[in-house]
Amino acid sequence: MRPGAISLNVADLDRQRAFYEETIGLRELDSSDGAVRLGAAGTPVVELVEARSASPRPPRTSGLFHLAVLVPSRRDLAASLCRAARSGWSFVGAADHFVSEALYLDDPEGNGIEIYRDRPREEWRYRDGAPEIATLPLDVQGLAGELREGDAREDGVPDGTKLGHVHLNVGDLGDAGAFYHGMLGLDKVREYPGVLFLSSSGYHHHLGLNTWAGEGAPPPPEGALGLRRFELVVDGEEELDEIERRLRQGGAEVERDGRGLELADPSGNRVLLRAGRPPVASG
């Protein structure tokens, strides 16, 4: 199970599309009336759906903490740093997480974004059999030193760029963990005060959950700006059928159509489960 793409309700589609193209480096894959999908080399990362009359997401509600765009290499991360600077956009943070190096910024409507690169797995630190995740200062000067002429390429982020993980605000970490671990089958990787990381296949995290918007944070109004839904991709229809069986046995309200299974987690965050091909193994 791994992230597919994320869908956002946005008030100003043109401005948001320009940001994700010029500052993040994604490219339009397809569009329809009031919606556009952007990604890299045919791989969708973000869908923007125009919702001009939607209300803003209120503070201290559940929803998106950040979406995380994974680039293939440290040099690509340096190019992302340069691209954002050239577009006039400022980062709100940067961190060394042991397993990865990350840059943080917000889009024009306040949706959090992480752009990161993974260190090779043989360089990860482990404790109690699981990857150790920390937050230390990033060597930004050293990162910038990776740049070569033309790296902040005009054609955007390189092939292999994808949605690496999604991080959500939830109202109750226990309920959310029971849903994503107990019902969907993601593995618990690390838990710290107020935050839980889950993944599959030994990855450091495909999903982050936190209660930093407040314990018991309620969902935003239906259709509010921000997170519309995000995808989790499973390996084939048989696995999807098994997950549907567990969900229905557990009393979950599940909608199934040609795309897959859609439902809300206990904090109201909507997730679309769909079948896909197993990913190509990588470091």
| φ, ψ at 81 (rounded to 5°) | -60, -45
β pairing state of 43-50 and 2-10: parallel
Helix, coil or strand: residue 21: helix
Q: What is the pLDDT of residues 100-153, one digit of tens each?
A: 999 999 999 999 999 999 999 999 999 999 999 999 999 999 999 998 876 655
**pLDDT for residue 280:** 53
Would you place residue 283 in the very low, low, confident or very high pLDDT band (cuts 50, 70, 90)? very low
Residue 129, number of CB atoms within 10 A of its CB: 6
Residue 277 pLDDT: 74
Neighbouring-strand partners of residue 37: 30, 47
Q: How far apart are CA 124 and CA 79, in angstroms?
A: 23
At residue 279, does pLDDT exceed 80?
Answer: no
Instruction: Please say whether the beta carbons of 232 and 271 come within 8 A.
Output: yes
Which residues partner with 105 through β-bridges? Answer: 113
On the question of pLDDT at 278 being above 70, the answer is: no
Q: How confident is the model at residue 155, as a pLDDT? A: 72
Mark out the alpha helices in the chain (DSSP H runs): 13-22, 74-86, 140-144, 173-177, 237-249
| Beta carbons of 91 and 104 less than 8 angstroms apart | yes
Question: What is the Cα–Cα distance from 260 to 4, expressed in whole angstroms?
Answer: 12
Residue 246: count of CB within 10 angstroms of its CB: 13
Cβ–Cβ < 8 Å for 6, 230: yes
Tell me the mean pLDDT in the region 166-183: 97
172-199 burial, b for 16+ CB within 10 Å, e for fewer? bbeebbebbeebbbbbebbeeeebbbbb
Output the average pLDDT for the chain. Answer: 94
Look at the pTM and tell me if it is higher than 0.85. yes
* Residue 27 three-state SS: strand
| pLDDT score, position 33 | 87
Token pair belonging to 168: 């959500």
SS3 for 3? strand
* Residue 127, strand partner residues: 130
| Span 16-46, pLDDT tens digits | 999 999 999 999 999 998 999 999 999 999 9
pLDDT at res. 171: 98
C-beta atoms surrounding 282 within 10 Å: 9
- Banded model confidence at residue 282, pLDDT cuts 50, 70, 90: very low
Query: What is the sign, positive or negative, of the torsion defined by CA atoms of 180, 183, 184, 190?
Result: positive
Does 169 have pLDDT greater than 80?
yes
- Cα–Cα distance measured from residue 28 to residue 50, given in angstroms and rounded to the nearest whole number: 15
**54 DSSP 8-state letter:** P
Residue 154 binned pLDDT confidence (cut-offs 50, 70, 90)? low
* Cα separation of the two ends of the chain: 17
pLDDT reported for residue 12: 98
pLDDT tens for each residue of 59-112: 999 999 999 999 999 999 999 999 999 999 999 999 999 999 999 999 999 999
In the block, tokens 């293939």 appear at 72
